[in-house]
Amino acid sequence: MINILFTANSQRWAQYEKPLRHALDDTGLPYVLSQKFTDPETVDYLIYAPKGSVSDFTPFIRAKAVLGLWAGVEAVVDNETLTIPLTRMVDHGLSQGMVEWVTGHVLRHHLGMDRHISGQDGQWRDYIPPLARDRHVTVLGLGALGGACARALAALNFNVTGWSRSRKTISGINCLSGGAGLDQALVSAEILVLLLPLTPATENLLNNARLSKMPRGGVIINPGRGALIDDDALLACLDNGHLNHATLDVFRTEPLPENHPFWAHNKVTVTPHIASETRPDTASQVIADNISRSEKGLALRYLVDRNAGY
């Protein structure tokens, strides 16, 4: 019998129990799925999300892997009690949700939609936006989510530049890497989308010097992680007119505190970490597939590189 402990909170258990059982049944493996096992030493796999029931993995001496429900792993990657393999979530539904959110917000700024949405005041605002092919969009991070968004934007004809740690070749996208590549990616970024993980190497990456490299009037869209950006530097660049807008989905502290200047700033749009969510149906299949692979002695998919931090 394979014992699978669901450690995410009860609200997620309500969403995930049925799809997980469905996906696990399909594997044909004998299993017990529960939010609690009396003896942690009997648990084979842990399904994990931050702020759940487990933060000390020491008692799970038989466990073979911790399977994350989230794409971002910064809350667990440094946990010293976690010595077994850790996987993160790469899920078709999650990617599709992010593509839709990013595309929507890029189009909002590209088309200048706010002029007409908030300007029902009798003024004939005849602003004609450029075509997408003449709009430079840069995506920092070309992984599961950034790569999908870059491809979707390129399919709409945007002039897309992407930046990642390892150099990539993606048809229709100007792919860059390294420090010089980042400078180049920023200099052309009329619209900048952040889909990097939060690691020691990416924290505060968007500081004053780098934000200043963006073209005047640039827009930032951040569904990655709040701490990728130096908040004060961003506010300064918005206030001095260098940047035109920031659409932010993620923050250093979540929920964003009521008194945070982002809330009241007329050049900031706050969305409450809803850019994309792991979808229970598709994510359950990913979890079940990984358990099945592990039981057959195959390599786990979406393993986190603990040294790189993502």
For residue 273, the minimal CB distance to ligand NDP (Å) is: 5
Instruction: Name the nearest CA neighbour of 210 among 238, 235, 231, 229.
Output: 229
Size of the site for ligand NDP (CB under 6 A): 29
Residues 151-180 that bind ligand NDP (CB under 6 A): 164-166
291 lies in the site for ligand NDP, by CB under 6 A: no
- Out of 250, 268, 283, 288, name the contact with ligand NDP by CB under 6 A: 250
Closest residue to bound ligand NDP by CB: 143
For residue 84, the minimal CB distance to ligand NDP (Å) is: 20
259 lies in the site for ligand NDP, by CB under 6 A: no
144 lies in the site for ligand NDP, by CB under 6 A: yes
145 lies in the site for ligand NDP, by CB under 6 A: yes
Question: What does each C-alpha distance from 192 to 2, 16, 149, 170 come to in angstroms?
Answer: 45, 34, 12, 18
For residue 203, the minimal CB distance to ligand NDP (Å) is: 10
Q: For residue 16, what are the β-bridge partners?
A: none
The residue range among 102-110, 194-202, 207-215, 255-263 that interacts with ligand NDP, by the rule CB under 6 A, is 194-202
199 lies in the site for ligand NDP, by CB under 6 A: yes
Active-site residue set: 225, 273
Phi-psi region of 278 (alpha: psi -120 to 50; beta: other; left: phi over 0): beta
Residues 23-62 that bind ligand NDP (CB under 6 A): none
Burial 99-115 (b: 16+ CB within 10 A, else e): bebbbebbbbbbbeeee
141 lies in the site for ligand NDP, by CB under 6 A: yes
For residue 39, the minimal CB distance to ligand NDP (Å) is: 34
* Binding site residues, ligand NDP, CB under 6 A: 71-72, 90, 94, 141-146, 164-166, 195-199, 201-202, 223-225, 249-250, 273, 275-276, 310
